[in-house]
Chains A and B, each alone.
Chain A
Amino acid sequence: MRTLFRHGRLFTMALDDPPRADGAPDDARLMAAYAAGDARAFEVLYERHQGALYRFVRRVLGPALQAQTDEVFQDTWLRVVQSRDRYRAEGASFRTWLYTLAQNRAIDLLRRSGREVSPERAGANEPLTPEGDPWQDWPDPHAAAHDEHLFWRRAGEQLLRCLDELPAAQRVVFLMHHDDECTLDDIARALELGFETAKSRLRYAMSKLRLCMGAYLGAAALGRSS
């Protein structure tokens, strides 16, 4: 743990991977072991992060470039293999570093495909003017009922559609913050952004997603209640 004074605020951030409850070695140790020649350490790292990274890449690319998910995913891990000697645990957590590699590769692919729009051109930094009230009829996300499960399943589908409408920069920040549970400071450092910029992108993404989700799920909720 390290306490930082940044942007006028004190932050307590985890530069190292948190200790694992199962007693397994953390990511930093595994990466160090792999850099020393232990190939089995890489396998452990791969098994630990493959699912989340694959989803992250798939969601950043969106449905249009879903076929390129495997390519970006493979390139990301090959970057890890090639850069095993340059990784320093004190710079960032392995998880943050891994997602940074993946998003860089995904952004490059989006740029080449013409789908990536810069945040400035997309109005990411413009003041948000919601067109309606956010949807307030969320079901309990921890409910285990069958109906609730179906609701969240449909909500997830809708969220993916809404994510595809976000600029890539905001999408990346939102996914790293909500899906991969990275802190804002880690995101800012990983994407080489200012803290306020990362925070602004996250705020815009959340607001847009709430509006997008309310417009769709409101009607669905009304139909279900009726």
Chain B
Amino acid sequence: MSPDLPPDTASGEPLPPDAHLRAALRHAPDAQAQPDPALRAAIVRAAHEAVQAGAQPVPRAAPGASSTLGALWRRFWQAPTPARPVWAAGLAAAVVASLTLTLWWGEPVPPPVRTEPPLPAPAPPATEAAAPQAQSGPATQGQPPAAALGSTSAAPAREAVAPAADAAVAAPARKARAESPAVRPSTDARPRAALPATVPPAAPAIDTAAQSRDQAGPAEERTAAPPASPPMAATATATAPALPPAAPPVSAAPVPPQGAVPRPGPSLAAAPAPMAAPTAAPMAKAAEATGNAKAETAAMARRQSGEAQAVAADRIVASLPPTLAQRAATGEPWRTLARLNWQPAEAAATTADPGPSAPWQHEPGGMLWRMPGGMLWREPDGRQWFAPVAPAEWPALDAALQLLRRSDVAPAAPASPAPPR
């Protein structure tokens, strides 16, 4: 029997192994146990297959495409699929935003489109100067004949009536109008009124809506001759109330003196020719009675093209009181008044007696009364116009009157006007 062996302390371990236990392990029956050769073969085969699978040639980039830019490009397009739409959407949004800002840079914000009930338009008058001007062709095709313009050329007239601010506002509208092919034929189809030789250049009366429509030949349109076919124009204006609400109307540019001078048409493009006030109503009635299919077609084209401003201008009648036409060029709230269907008191279907109510008076304009059935306007020379107002139109009209009262219109002394003639 051998003596007991001390623990193996040669290894320096804090707990040295027991030599006897290690010897017993070494002599254990399973000391020579080995795995099955088949198991060995399976493991070695798996190891070889793993190496061969991992050594498959990985597709490499082309030698010439190893540049940094190419690597970045491949990395971008070979990114995980969920990342592509995010990058694409962000890039597209940035491009669209940049393009929008670039196109809109320096452009003014367009005024909001007002939605107001359409106004019936009176019949366009017919004058002797209408025929030659109506045959002069579309306004965009050239300048009107000098004979029709008289001593006033197109460019000076436009410069005289086009304020700088309005020109800036009208720029987007001109662009949109120039890009809309459906607008031009309808505009060109309208007759033009002749420019009276006595147009006072110092009395510009055109608003921003007129500027927006004034793209090619505003002077020609403002000086348009009366329609060659009055019934056609009358029908066109008669169909205007059915059109959608439009932008503020256009007032007449020049204000002729009272009397036999043709009154300015508020519509620039489709406005019928200026006419004498007393003859407007009969002409309108005649036009409504006869009708004209061609004018209806033109009106339909305008309606389909969505040219709201042009349609609104069409609704402006030529029978505005001269003083009111001047004021309408200054903007709201006069435009609201100008949209009314002003008719000479003789033709109005009401007895325009303002009664004892206090008028609104504007220097040097006429006097205005708010009456139960409409509004009454009296020129300084005593002529009166009456515009019927529907109940639904009163809120907007009252708001305009309130603006008039607050701004530059002072209530006049209570006075009862004379009964309309």
Q: For A172, what are the chain B residues with a Cβ–Cβ distance below 8 Å? A: none
Once bound together, how far apart are the Cα atoms of A199 and B27, in whole Å? 25
What is the predominant secondary structure among interface residues of chain A facing chain B?
A: helix
Partner of B30, one of A43, A55, A181: A55
Stretch at the interface among B43-51, B147-155, B247-255, B258-266: B43-51
Shortest CB-to-CB span from A160 to chain B, Å, is 5
A178 at the B interface (CB under 8 A): yes
When C-beta atoms are compared, the residue in chain B nearest to A153 turns out to be B27
Of chain B, the residue at the smallest CB distance from A206 is: B18
Residues of A with C-beta under 8 A to B12: 12
- Chain A interface: which of B34-42, B196-204, B282-290, B307-315? B34-42
Q: A156 touching B25 by the CB < 8 A rule?
A: yes
Instruction: Say whether A99 faces chain B, with CB atoms less than 8 Å apart.
Output: no
B4, B22, B24, B44: the one contacting A137 at CB < 8 Å is B4
Nearest CB of A to B28, in Å:
3
Verify A178–B17 contact, CB threshold 8 A.
Answer: yes
Given contacts A141-B5, A159-B24, A213-B24, contact A202 B15 (CB under 8 A): yes
Q: A149 to B27, Cβ gap below 8 A?
A: yes
Which residue on B lies nearest to A36, using beta carbons?
Answer: B51
CA distance A99 to B411 in the complex (A): 108
Residues of chain A contacted by B36 (CB below 8 angstroms): 70
CB < 8 Å neighbour of A184 from B13, B31, B48, B50: B13
Flag whether A114 is at the interface (Cβ < 8 A): no
Which residues from B are CB-within-8-Å of A108? Answer: none
CB <8 Å contact, A81 and B46: yes
- A183: Cβ under 8 A from any B Cβ: yes
Stretch at the interface among A15-23, A71-79, A88-96, A115-123: A71-79
B42, B43, B50 pick with most chain A CB within 10 angstroms: B43
Chain A residues in 8 Å Cβ range of B34:
50-51, 54
The yes or no answer to A209 lying at the interface (CB within 8 A) is yes
* Residue in B19, B23, B40, B51 whose CB lies within 8 Å of A34: B51
Q: Contact at A54–B1, with CB atoms within 8 Å?
A: no
Closest to B38 in A: A70
Tell whether A136 is near chain B: CB-to-CB under 8 Å: yes
From B15, B27, B39, contact of A70 by CB (8 A): B39
Residues of B within 8 A of A181 (CB): 17
Q: Mark A187-215, 1 if CB is under 8 A from B, else 0.
A: 00000000000010011001001100100
Say yes or no: is B84 at the interface (Cβ < 8 Å to chain A).
no
Chain A, interface residues (CB within 8 Å), range? 35 or more
Main secondary structure of the interface of B (DSSP, over half): helix
- Please give, as numbers and ranges, the residues of chain B lying within 8 Å of A209 by CB-CB distance: 18, 21
> Looking across the interface, which residue of chain B has its beta carbon closest to that of A207?
B18
Contacts of B30 in A (CB 8 A): 55, 58-59, 160
Bound form: Cα–Cα A77–B27 in Å:
26
| Chain B residues in 8 Å Cβ range of A81 | 43, 46-47, 50
- For chain B, the bracket of interface size reads 35 or more
Residues from chain B with a CB closer than 8 A to the CB of A46 are: 40, 43-44, 47
The 0/1 profile, CB within 8 Å of B marked 1, for residues 8-40 of chain A is 010010000000000000000000001001110
Known: A50-B35, A143-B2. A74 touches B24 (CB 8 A): no
Residues of chain A contacted by B28 (CB below 8 angstroms): 156-157, 159-160
Q: Quick check: is B20 within 8 A (CB to CB) of the other chain?
A: yes
Cβ of A68 to closest chain B Cβ, rounded Å? 13
Q: How far is the CB of A53 from chain B (nearest CB, A)?
A: 9
A128 to B262: give the CA distance in the assembly, Å. Answer: 128
Q: Which residue of A lies closest to B55 (CB)?
A: A37
Chain B residues contacting A125 (CB-CB under 8 Å) are none
C-alpha gap A213/B13 in the complex (Å): 23
Also in contact, A155 and B14, with CB within 8 A (given A42-B47, A46-B43, A51-B33): no
Docked-complex contact B24 and A155, CB < 8 angstroms? yes
Interface-centre pick from B4, B13, B18, B24 (highest chain A CB count, 10 A): B24
Is B106's CB within 8 Å of the partner chain A? no
Nearest CB of chain A from residue B174's CB, rounded to whole Å: 70
Q: Do A139 and B44 touch (CB < 8 A)?
A: no
Q: A55-B33, A179-B22 are in contact. Are A74 and B42 (CB under 8 A)?
A: yes
- Determine whether A177 belongs to the interface, using a CB cutoff of 8 Å to chain B: yes
Given contacts A138-B20, A179-B22, A210-B18, contact A73 B39 (CB under 8 A): yes
- Is the C-beta of B29 less than 8 angstroms from some C-beta in chain A? yes
B26 within 8 A of A: yes
Question: Cβ of A34 and Cβ of B47 under 8 Å apart?
Answer: yes
Seen from chain B, the residues whose Cβ lies within 8 Å of a Cβ on chain A are 1-5, 11-15, 17-36, 39-40, 42-44, 46-48, 50-52, 54-55
Nearest 9 A/B pairs, CB to CB = A156-B28, A141-B23, A140-B2, A152-B27, A155-B24, A156-B27, A159-B24, A42-B47, A39-B48
Known: A156-B27, A177-B15, A206-B21. 7 other contacts (CB 8 A): A37-B54, A37-B55, A42-B48, A159-B28, A160-B28, A178-B22, A179-B22
